[in-house]
Each structure stands twice: as structure tokens, then as C-alpha cells.
Structure 1
Amino acid sequence: MSKSFVTKKIIKNLIVIVIGLQITACSDKQKSQAEIILEQMTLEEKIGQVIQADIGSVTPEEVQKYNLGSILNGGNSAPGGGKTAEWQEWVSLADAMWLASTDISDGGLGIPAIWGTDAVHGHNNLQSATIFPHNIGLGATRDTVLLEKIGAVTAHEVRATGLDWVFAPTVAVARDYRWGRTYESYSENPQLVSDLGAALILGLQGKPGTENYLGDKKIIATAKHFVGDGGTQYGIDKGDTIVTEQELRNIHAFPYKQAFQNDVQSVMASFSSVNGTKMHENKPYLTDLLRDEMNFNGFVVGDWNGHAEIPGCTATNCPDAFLAGVDMYMAPESWKGIYESLKSQVESGDVPMARLDEAVLRVLQAKVTAGIFEAGLPSQRPETKQESLGIAEHRALAREAVRKSLVLLKNNNQALPIKPKANVMVVGAVAKSMKHQTGGWTLSWQGNDNANDEFKTGETIYSGLEAAITQTGGTISWSPDGSYEQRPDAAIVVFGEDPYAEFHGDRMDLIYEFEGDPNLNILKQLKADGVPVVAIFISGRPLWVNSHINLSDAFVAAWLPGTEAGGIADVIVASADGSPQFDFVGKLPFSWPVEETGQLVRKNDGSAFQFGYGLNYADDVQLAALPVSDVLQKPEKVFSGQILAKGKAVEPLEFYLGDLTNSNTPAPMLNLKSLGGSLTSSGTDYQAQEDSRKLSWVNDNLANASARLARPFNITQMPNYDLLALSMTLKLSKAGDDEFIIGMICGEACIGSLAISSVLTDLPQDKWQEVKIPLSCFVSKGLDPTKVEVPLFMQAKQGWELSVHNAELVSSDELTSCPQ
């Protein structure tokens, strides 16, 4: 036995003995262990307990010095600083953090820190873990027994790396599929969300009151995000849920009741707002509703710097969130600033000591309940075993989940199952792509940069099909584009959404593809050739795919199946005698959009694919052609270059206001304001009453106004591209001290922007003027003109007041120089 190990063991034993003696010596037998510990804590130890730091921004030495109560690994942080890490690196860092937090060499109590991780569909940060279907697919199973088993496996594999806590399940009731987190929701139906979320919690934590509850193979669970995150207006991430009090309780708060009955130990506050108030500052909900009415007894953790989005707060200073009911700040890289500011606020009395004690006690009680004080060094815990990751039993459960999640929308002429000895062509790069089938929150936050060889377990959709088809005497080939030399008996076309997570996954409509787009072209060609087509659609939400369904003989919604995609082949490929191996049992957890505009959110009036729809092999249904509108055109067919007219966005653009609180507040009308109140919009007069929009920046926070397209637009296709300029009719009323920025956006980290303060201040004040800026100026600053998503954004701080009548891209023979 090494000297290092002996030292660690002594430290662990010391802390257990010390705390044990303190408890025994207490004369008040009615006090809980958590209360006894609280009485002996210093102010600094108390402050540390209510702060959580990201492993990429804190060292073990800092955990010890600041007595931090928790750490987390964010979606893009793994031990060692890379995207992924080996099992031993996870365990070694868990050991280091445990030893640091329990160190009593400074005379402190050495309260162990807990490590939280986003294990939202299995232990999804690990390459060798079992990755289950995302929640939307599990919602299609409607199987609470399955969900409890999945929770148990997830807990087991997280325990295998020495961690204590998972930020799951999400019990959002998604009501607008344009939301980039729709796949994190089990359903649009509150009861189904409630049942499945409660089952997963039972699997993660065990059943309250039993020996199994939070035992060696169990883990602290989190119900998130309280409350209303699935109901934001237009499905905008971090947006505003505009509802009546009754709607909030009956829909969005409903699933939490069962979660609390199963004694979930933590709740995560939502980034979003309810009726204009950020949830992180919403005491009526975080305290009155959550605690007093719903009787939640655990602790509330904030979301990633969610406190910083409260008006008047910063990432390092926000008593408002704590006073509202957030018990633990999630302050990934801002933790030190929050520590100092909160300590100062308690010392000054701005934050009452009673509120701090309340929050600390809740965190301590969860640690006591979960056995954290007695757990010992992570590497020495009985369930910390590398061999528990991705084992055959766990993978088999994930494969079962895939089978049960599949929803059959169409099976005309009994195209499925695939017959024995068939010559099958599989079409599409998605069929061989692990990142597409696992989606966001897998290995990395967005999940869009994962290569197949980064997954150490699982199989692609194609691999599963290859095994199943060849076992029945058939032959299989793969074609990326649907071309072939020998006509196949059937084509399985696999296509769908690219991976995404929140914010980046938000959409402005539900139209998957337009006429002329790649997958539609493939389906049209196969249809023309008379090849029977089975479509496997990979997506994190229902999308408008009427044209694709019409061109397919069979259509399967496969959602985001995770690593064990062989479960798809189990259902769609027949056994050797021609009978189905497994039947379709999945039912739609969300109504499917079939209206011609693709804008449908929910519809239960007899439309083709309502909530609960799903065929099986016994159904003899010949689906009629779905409506397809000829008005659905690509942006380049619609966008003429006109951006604003009379102060409003011109179709197909939409106008938004943004600030620190939310960057995407829709502003179709003139008289609105950004969610945090940093930017106000109002109607003003140019040639007629309220035919223009006045924008006023009212505080020291950056705020912006923008006009956005639903999809990237190639400006180089416009006539006279080389002569194009952004022309605006505007009026400056007030100038601020900071720069006024104007620009165009072409995607993440793709922007061309210019500081035009001097241009504006040189204009006659309070007089309407035309301003032209050559498009080449934005290109020279980094704009990619072939994929413009935002052809106009304006950003400033306090003091600027600008009115805009119109904005458009025009051809100009008199191009001016670029603003300096």
C-alpha cells in the first residue's frame, strides 16, 4: 500500500471521526446531523457551501481554500481541459476534489464537495458510457418501467466515475417545437412528462424509505428547469413564458409534484422568465410556490451563470437570486467574485444570515441524505469501477429503449418490415454518423463536432442494418446520395437534423427542407425510379416533412436514438421467416406538424398525426398524400434585399430586441422592449403616423436590435452583388458615450461589424437622413456573404436614441468609403 494512499485514508478517517464526535457531544438529541454541522461552521465555510464552480475554472487547492460546496463539469469541460477524458482522469480528479474539500489542516470542518454532471441521456460526457435516446424518444415509449431502469443504469455508470450528482431529469413540458431544447422534453403532455420524469428519478435515486434509496449505486437527481422553460414565446431559449397562473400550475409546474413525492433532492432554476420576470429572481415561484405550496425540501441550484441575467446583476454580484430562493449559485468561472460579493453582503446585512443558514442547511441535508459524508474517497467507493461503463446489460437496455421509441407514421403497401434476402441500399451520410444519432449533450455541449472514432461503444444505424439484413440472407450497400448501379429491392433513406443544443438549436419555423434541397431530391429520384423507400427521420423534434412523407412508402420517426442504433434494425428488418422481430410500439409524444406553413406547434382537431399517433404492423392504413404548398420557398426565392419597411421587418425576416437577459426577444410590433429592459422600441413619425421605429438604449448594458432570417441567405446571388450597399433611412436624436455598432451575422463566431458612431454624430441631429454603407465593408470585417442569417443588427449602450424608417440592400453606383 502506497504512502499516498495511507495519507488519504487517514484524512478521510479523521473527518469522519471529528464530525462523529461533534454529533455525539451535542446535548440536543432532536437536532439533525446537518443542523449540528451548520452550528459549527464559519461564515467563510457557509459561503463556500452555496457556490458551485466548473472544473475548468477551479483547482483542488481553491476548493480547499474557499470551502466550495460543489463543482461541476460543463458541457464542454472534462478533466484535463479537453473535450473528453479517460475513466482514470475522471476518478483522479474526483479524488483530488474530495481530498481538497475534506482537508481539515486549516482547522475547518472539511465538508465534502459534491460533483454535478449533465448526465441527461446516460453518462453522456464519457466515450465508453451507454448513451440512451434523448427524452423525446423516451416519451414515445410511454414506459415507466423502462425509464426507471434507464435511471438506474445512468446512476450506476455515473457512480462508476466517482461522481455524486446528475442534472437530470428535465421535466419541461415543451409547447413550441422551435425551441432548441425540445428533445429534452418527454412530451407536450404534462401527465406523461410527470410519469416518466418521476420514474427516472426513482431509477436515479431509488425509492424513498427503502435501503436502496441513495445507496451505493444511486445518485442525487435534479428536476429541471423550474419553472416554465418549455413554454417560452416562439420557443426561444431563455425566453419569456407568457401564461396565466392557472396554465403555469396545470402545465409547467405539474410534473414537479410527482418528482417531489419521489423526494428528488435538488431542483434547477430556469434560465427563462415568466410574464417578464426572470425565474432566478422570482421569489413568488422559487420560494412561495416551490417551498410553501409544493413542499419541496431539497435545495435549488441555479443554471449556468443564470443569476447574471437578472437586470441589475452581474456574474460576480447578484444577491437578488439568493434572496429569491436560489440556494446554490452555479457560477462556473465567476465563483470567486460571487464568493466575495456574497460574503460582503452577509457581513453588511444586505443578505440576512438567516437566509444563508437556510440555504446551507438545505445543501448539507442533501449531502447527509445521500451519504456523502461517509462515502469516502471516490476511487475507493464500491461502485467506482471502469468495467461498469457500457457493459452488455446496459447496452441491451439502451437498444430496447430505441426499439420502443420508434414511431411508425406511414407504412403504405406494407413496405416494412424489410423482407429476408432483399437487396437493400442504405442512403445518406447520417446512416453512418454517430454524432447525428446521439445529438447534442453528447461528449460536448452541442454534440456537432464528434467523430465516430470518439465513441468507444455503440454502433451506427448502418452497422445495425448491415448485421440484421445479412443475417436473413440479404445484401446491403451504402450510397451517400442515392445513386446506384444495380436497382435495389428497397432503399432505406436516413436523414435528419444536424446536432444542436440550446440556443443554437432554436428555429424560426418547423420546415425541414424546401423544394430542391438534398434529401427531397434523393427521395424524388428514387420515387421516379420506382424503388420502394423507407425513410428513417432523425430529429430532436417533430418537423414539417410532408413532402418527404409523401415520397416515402414507409416513414419512421426515430428521434435521437443514442449509441445503440441497432435497435432500429430490430424493428424494421424481418426475421428469417419474414415475420417481424419486434413490432412498433412507440406513440407520438408530440403532435406532428402537417399544416402547409410548417408553423404548427400543437393541433388536436383531427389532423393526421395527433399526440398518441403511431402505427404497428397489424394496422392496415394507406396514408393519403399530405398537403404541400407551393408557397414554401427557399429564402433566396423570397428575400429581395428589403430588411425594414416602416420600422418593421419585411417577410421573411423577423425583428428582435436583445440584451443581457435574453438576446432574442421577438419585437414584431413597434411598441415593445427587450426582456431586461435595456432597449426600448416605440413608434415614431416620418412621413405618416408611427411609420418608423425609435430605438432607445436606456442603461449601461449592451443591447441590440436585429432583423433575422430563418435560414442562411447567399447575398452573392443577388443582382449587382459587387455594387450592393446597406441603405438606411434614419434619424439620430441622442448619442451615447460608447460605440454604436452596426453589422451582419453569418452564424456562430461569424460576423462583420463596424463602429459607426462618428458617422451618426456627423449627421444633423433630429433630421431624417439616408446612410449607405458598402456591403464590402462588412465582408472585410469577417462577414461570409454566402450564409447571412442576420442582414442587420445594431448594438449600443446607454444614451443612444435612433429612429429607423427603412433598411435594405440596394445597388449603388456611388459607393462610399467604409466608416473608420
Structure 2
Amino acid sequence: GYPPAIEHGAQVVMASFNSWHGRKMHGSRQMLNDILVDRLGFDGFVVGDWNGHGQVVGCSNVSCPQAMNAGLDMFMAPDSWEQLYHNTLKQVKSGEISLARLDEAVSRILRVKFRAGLFTAGLPSKRPYAGKYELLGAAEHRAVARDAVRKSLVLLKNNDNILPLSPKSKVLVAGAGADNIGQQSGGWTLTWQGTGNKNSDFPNADSIYAGIEDAVQRAGGVATLSENGSFDEKPDVAIVVFGEQPYAEFQGDVTDLDYKPTGDLALLKSYKAQGIPTVAVFLSGRAMWVNPELNASDAFVAAWLPGTEGAGIADLLFTDAQGNTQYDFTGRLSFSWPKDPLDVELNIGNAEYDPLFAYGYGLSINDSQNLEQLNEEIDPSLSTVNDSHFLFAGDPVQPWRLVLNDAGGNTQVSSNHQISSQSKVEIQAKDFKAQEDIVQVNWTGQGNVSIQGNPVDLSKKASGGMAIEFAYNVLVHTATEVNLSLGCGLECAKEFDITEALKSKAMSEWHTAKIDISCFKDDESRLDEVNVPFLLSSDAGLSIQLSAINIVEGTPGSSCTL
């Protein structure tokens, strides 16, 4: 993609976090200068990614002459810029960075600014549309976005041509994503990860339910919202909106494509058992293995991340009041849909290309094509992966969740800054090796932080020499009692007092603990049905950072202590 982009006037190229033959891109003169500039003819400027220069060998976030010498013209230094500026100035004065290289970087940046007209456009506040905030989310712009939603939806299943639905029906709209603009918008919204947002944070936007409600009410039907799926009067049809929670960048990394949350599947199955026709609307940033969910629904729509125009989904799900089709499904798969959760490298052209739905697949309303029952069996090794990884880069690994608890009860962590019910425990996302790749937990009173999920059997791991491993950094430790536990719930877990062990690690950088799972074995902890694989409790005075929590093979260094 680089040659045509450069030929068509691309002015800025960002160095990635990737390595090429073992050399970080931010420090590769071969890539940034010899190939990009000399061979491809790029004459814009090269900007770094978020503290990416700090990953170059011999560099830190506040000092990296290697990156500028390699051809980086502008550092991205969100929290380290001041010291980086002074160090770079010293390095130019000492000759470690040549004056010619500095002049080259400045010239490239100025050239792009001149080409963009920044020096002739005048003050932003004096330009024609300055201050006209009514143009943000203007009706004409929203119409374009809504049309894009209609064209992006892919109909994967439509047994017995259940779609389009009559808007004069009694429609039950269920699922966590039904009235959740944050979830349907994904990451990179008001927050980096797209978490912690409320519908009110998106003025003039429509949730999927809001669009359905409007379409149904205008036709004389009844639309009822029930996130948990319960109802008093049996509906004519149920629409279940569910899918991935928002994520961005590496915090969305997964080890396989299995869509793991189980509550949505239980809801779909319950409607099927009651004979209620059901339409699944799946929100995701990628194609995923959802065979059980496909089997349990009569129609299945891959809605991706429609953003603020949730009403665009109702346009395709319903006819008009007279029963006429308003819009057809024209979206087709731009990625192959996996037949197996391990189809992570499934691409058209592969020698063993065997997807569930091929690249370019998508049904139209008039297609009479029923989808037969799909295989729901998965590779047994997947359960090993799902049962062994709990926290990665400071983020819980699906289907696990991060939970705060104090005397006020549980609080699920859903944003990069959260406080427990009675404000005894605080958790914040922090930067370590990458943006927000660790969490910092602070205690001002009695409480705990834990990983929770559906029960898994760790009894075999207890007898197989496996250990719970977690990376931690103790910032402050004046607490009088700190305990670590693992078990079948808050009331049946074996605790270890790690107060003094942690105190000896305070203010001494990062450590990795390995504790044999067998250490947690007793009659109460029930290792055959563990739903809390990690729980750290403390009273006031503890501040600790956590990066990763996994089950790994035990080593001679693993024991029943830190």
C-alpha cells in the first residue's frame, strides 16, 4: 500500500511498534530512510507512535538519538516530552545528532505544513465554519452515516425468510448491546478503549434499540427493552443484541476466535425453547466463531460496529408499515468467517481454505437459503488456553472480568478508572511498556480486587505441577493485612497471608510471583470449580501495579510464597 499512497500525495507516515528482522522500526534507518525516502520517494515527514522510540535498543522514553538518526522526524512523546526535548537538544549540541539531520527533520515538517496551507489559512477561529457546532452531527452527515450502516450489515442466516419483520409486531429487544451506544461504537471514541461511556455521552446518536423503537411505534407496533431478556407478555419476535465489549489496539488481542461470553447464548436458547422467533444482532470488530449462537437463532446479522447511527439496523430488520421491504442487505464479508476458533490465519488463497462463510458471502432478503445446524464442538486445547490466562496487558482476558469489592458489594471494572462501591478500592489504567498496559490498584480501606468468571476445573493443574503466575510492582505498602487467594468464590477460597512478603518487595521495581496451585488445595477451595482464580485483599495503605496473571508450568522457583 505504500507506493500508491505516496504517489497520491500521502504526507505523513507513522513508524510502527513492529520489528523488522529484529530491529525496532523506530530505530531502523534502512526502513525509515533508505527504503521509505530514498527508494519510494516519500517527501513528507515520519512521526513516531506512542513512546515507540523508547523501545529501541539503548533508548528510553526520554532519550533516543538513535530514532532521529534513523529518520524519525517527530517524536510522539505524550508524557515524556519535556525531558526528551532537553536531552535531544543536548545530543544535537554534542554532535550525537548532527545539525544537518535536525535541519532535515525540521524542513520536512515545515514543508508539509506549507503544503497544507497552515501558514496562509489564518487563525482557526476566523475561518468560515469556526464556532458552528451545529454542523457537528448535522442531519445531512448523519444520513450518510446511517446509509453506511445499512450497507455494512451482513446477513449470515435468515431461515424461513424471517426477515424483514413486521413493525406492527410485539417486539422484545434484549441483550447488553441493545441500548448501549458505547458498545456499538467500539474503541477510540471518548476514551481510548471505548469503555466507561454512557448513552448521554453521545448527543444526537441513536442506540440500536432507539432505532427499533422508533420504527415499530410509527407503524403501530410495540417495542419493549429488556436487557436481561425477561418479559411479562410473550413477544411475537425477540431481537437479541450482543457481542464484544469495546477495545483498541493490543488490548483486543485474543488467542483464538471463539466468542466466549455465555449469557447471550443462554438467552437465545431460552427463546428457542419457548418457540419465540429470534433475530441475533452481533456486534464485533472481527469475524468470530459463533456456531452455538448461529444455531440458536432464526436470523443472524453481523452488524460489526455501526457507531452512532443504530437506527440504520432497524431500516433493514423491518418492512415499512404497509409491509414493503425498505432496504435489502447488500453487505458482503470482507473477511472470511471462521469454521473453527483456531482459524486465526484464515485467508482466501490459502492452500487449505475452508471457511464457514467465504470471503464475499452475504445473503439478500430474497434468498431462500436455510442454514443447517452447525458443529459446536471445539478443540479441547482451547479450554486450556481459556482457563490459563486471566489478565493480559492490564486487561482481563475474555471471558474473565476484573472486579472490585468492598462492604458495598461488587463493582465490575468497565473503564480505565473505577472506584469500588464505598470508595475503599481504586483501580486505574497506567502506562508501563505501552499505553495503559498495566493496572494500578490503591486501597484506602478494606476491600479486594479479583478476577472472576464461570467455574473452571483447576484440580488437574494442581496435581500437574502448575502455578499461578502474576507480575506486580509494589508502590506503597503500609497495610497491616494483605491476603492472596484462589478458589470457588469469595466464601470458599484458601488464603495466604503475603503482608510481609509484599513489604519486602516495596519500591523495588517489577517482580514475578509463581505459586503452586496445589498450595490452594483444601476441602473448601474446591479447585474443580474455580470461579475466582485470583483475589488480592488488603486494608488501607497498599498500592500495587499488576500486568499479567496466568497459569504456567511450575518451576523450582515456584512455591507457596512470593
Q: Which TM-score applies when normalising by structure 1?
A: 0.50
**Which of 321, 335, 344 is the equivalent residue of 1:600?**
344
Pair 1:396–1:286, CA change in 2 (3 A) = same
Counterpart of 1:526 in 2: which secondary structure? Answer: helix
| Uncovered stretches (5+) of structure 1, i.e. residues with no partner | 1-254, 642-651, 654-658, 665-690, 693-701, 703-713, 727-736, 745-753, 755-769, 795-802, 809-814
Does the aligned pair in 2 maintain the 1:310–1:661 contact within 8 Å? no
Counterpart of 1:430 in 2: which secondary structure? Answer: coil
Pair 1:454–1:274, CA change in 2 (3 A) = same
Counterpart Cα distance in 2 of 1:592 and 1:378:
46
Does the aligned pair in 2 maintain the 1:307–1:329 contact within 8 Å? yes
Counterpart Cα distance in 1 of 2:274 and 2:195:
34
Q: Does residue 779 in structure 1 map to residue 550 in structure 2?
A: no
Pair 1:719–1:348, CA change in 2 (3 A) = closer
Counterpart of 1:421 in 2: which secondary structure? Answer: coil
- Alignment-derived partner of residue 278 in structure 2: 533
- Paired residues for 1:740-759 under 5 Å: 741-743=511-513
- Alignment-derived partner of residue 522 in structure 1: 267
Does the aligned pair in 2 maintain the 1:743–1:778 contact within 8 Å? no
- Alignment-derived partner of residue 628 in structure 1: 376
**Which of 182, 201, 220 is the equivalent residue of 1:435?**
182
Does the aligned pair in 2 maintain the 1:584–1:615 contact within 8 Å? yes
**Which of 229, 232, 237 is the equivalent residue of 1:482?**
229
**Which of 554, 571, 579 is the equivalent residue of 2:324?**
579
- Paired residues for 1:184-195 under 5 Å: none
Deviation, structure 1 residue 274: 2.7
- Alignment-derived partner of residue 460 in structure 2: none
Does the aligned pair in 2 maintain the 1:594–1:626 contact within 8 Å? no
- Alignment-derived partner of residue 409 in structure 2: none
Counterpart of 2:260 in 1: which secondary structure? Answer: coil
Q: Which amino acid aligns with 1:717?
A: C
- Paired residues for 1:560-575 under 5 Å: 560-575=305-320
Counterpart of 2:487 in 1: which secondary structure? Answer: helix
Deviation, structure 1 residue 420: 4.1
Deviation, structure 1 residue 297: 1.5
Deviation, structure 1 residue 790: 1.2
Deviation, structure 1 residue 602: 1.3
Q: Which amino acid aligns with 1:452?
A: N
- Alignment-derived partner of residue 51 in structure 2: 305
Pair 1:465–1:633, CA change in 2 (3 A) = farther
- Alignment-derived partner of residue 365 in structure 2: 617
**Which of 298, 301, 312 is the equivalent residue of 1:553?**
298
Counterpart of 2:157 in 1: which secondary structure? Answer: strand
Q: Does residue 404 in structure 1 map to residue 128 in structure 2?
A: no
- Alignment-derived partner of residue 481 in structure 2: none
Does the aligned pair in 2 maintain the 1:584–1:617 contact within 8 Å? yes
- Paired residues for 1:54-69 under 5 Å: none
Deviation, structure 1 residue 631: 5.7
- Alignment-derived partner of residue 193 in structure 2: 446
- Alignment-derived partner of residue 17 in structure 1: none
- Alignment-derived partner of residue 458 in structure 1: 205
Counterpart Cα distance in 2 of 1:771 and 1:739:
25
Deviation, structure 1 residue 564: 1.0
Counterpart Cα distance in 2 of 1:576 and 1:662:
50
Does the aligned pair in 2 maintain the 1:404–1:585 contact within 8 Å? yes
C-alpha RMSD over aligned residues = 4.0
Pair 1:603–1:303, CA change in 2 (3 A) = closer
- Alignment-derived partner of residue 39 in structure 1: none
Does the aligned pair in 2 maintain the 1:603–1:610 contact within 8 Å? no
- Paired residues for 1:347-366 under 5 Å: 347-366=93-112
Counterpart of 1:410 in 2: which secondary structure? Answer: strand
Q: Which amino acid aligns with 1:742?
A: T
Q: Deviations over 1:138-180 (max 9, x none)?
A: xxxxxxxxxxxxxxxxxxxxxxxxxxxxxxxxxxxxxxxxxxx
Q: Which amino acid aligns with 1:629?
A: E
- Alignment-derived partner of residue 46 in structure 1: none
Does the aligned pair in 1 maintain the 2:486–2:495 contact within 8 Å? no
Instruction: Between 469-478 and 304-313, report the one with greater CA deviation.
Output: 469-478
- Alignment-derived partner of residue 790 in structure 1: 549
Pair 1:606–1:660, CA change in 2 (3 A) = closer
Deviation, structure 1 residue 505: 1.7
Counterpart Cα distance in 2 of 1:345 and 1:715:
51
Does the aligned pair in 2 maintain the 1:283–1:325 contact within 8 Å? yes
Counterpart Cα distance in 1 of 2:374 and 2:555:
42
Pair 1:739–1:261, CA change in 2 (3 A) = closer
Does the aligned pair in 2 maintain the 1:309–1:661 contact within 8 Å? no
Deviation, structure 1 residue 593: 1.5
**Which of 527, 543, 546 is the equivalent residue of 2:288?**
543
Counterpart of 1:365 in 2: which secondary structure? Answer: helix
Larger strand fraction of residues: 2
- Alignment-derived partner of residue 123 in structure 2: 377
Counterpart Cα distance in 1 of 2:547 and 2:96:
48
- Paired residues for 1:227-238 under 5 Å: none
Q: Deviations over 1:358-409 (max 9, x none)?
A: 1111111111111111122221112323222111111111111111110111
Deviation, structure 1 residue 472: 2.7
- Alignment-derived partner of residue 589 in structure 1: 334
Pair 1:406–1:566, CA change in 2 (3 A) = same
Deviation, structure 1 residue 273: 1.9
Q: Does residue 322 in structure 1 map to residue 68 in structure 2?
A: yes
Pair 1:640–1:379, CA change in 2 (3 A) = closer
Q: Does residue 415 in structure 1 map to residue 162 in structure 2?
A: yes
Deviation, structure 1 residue 497: 1.0
Q: Which amino acid aligns with 1:375?
A: A
- Paired residues for 1:119-134 under 5 Å: none
Q: Does residue 339 in structure 1 map to residue 85 in structure 2?
A: yes
Deviation, structure 1 residue 457: 1.7
Counterpart Cα distance in 1 of 2:510 and 2:8:
52
- Alignment-derived partner of residue 242 in structure 2: 495
Deviation, structure 1 residue 511: 1.4
Q: Does residue 715 in structure 1 map to residue 486 in structure 2?
A: yes
Does the aligned pair in 1 maintain the 2:167–2:215 contact within 8 Å? no
Q: Deviations over 1:785-805 (max 9, x none)?
A: xx99714699xxxxxxxx935
Counterpart of 1:431 in 2: which secondary structure? Answer: coil
Counterpart Cα distance in 1 of 2:112 and 2:386:
56
Does the aligned pair in 2 maintain the 1:459–1:565 contact within 8 Å? yes
Counterpart Cα distance in 2 of 1:662 and 1:386:
31
Counterpart Cα distance in 1 of 2:324 and 2:356:
28
Counterpart Cα distance in 2 of 1:662 and 1:389:
29
Counterpart Cα distance in 2 of 1:789 and 1:601:
25
Does the aligned pair in 1 maintain the 2:238–2:276 contact within 8 Å? yes
Deviation, structure 1 residue 720: 11
Does the aligned pair in 2 maintain the 1:538–1:558 contact within 8 Å? yes
Larger helix fraction of residues: 1
Equivalent pairs: percent with the same residue?
44
Q: Which amino acid aligns with 2:200?
A: D
Deviation, structure 1 residue 621: 1.4
Does the aligned pair in 2 maintain the 1:425–1:492 contact within 8 Å? yes
Q: Which amino acid aligns with 1:430?
A: G
Does the aligned pair in 2 maintain the 1:308–1:318 contact within 8 Å? yes
Counterpart Cα distance in 1 of 2:17 and 2:547:
28
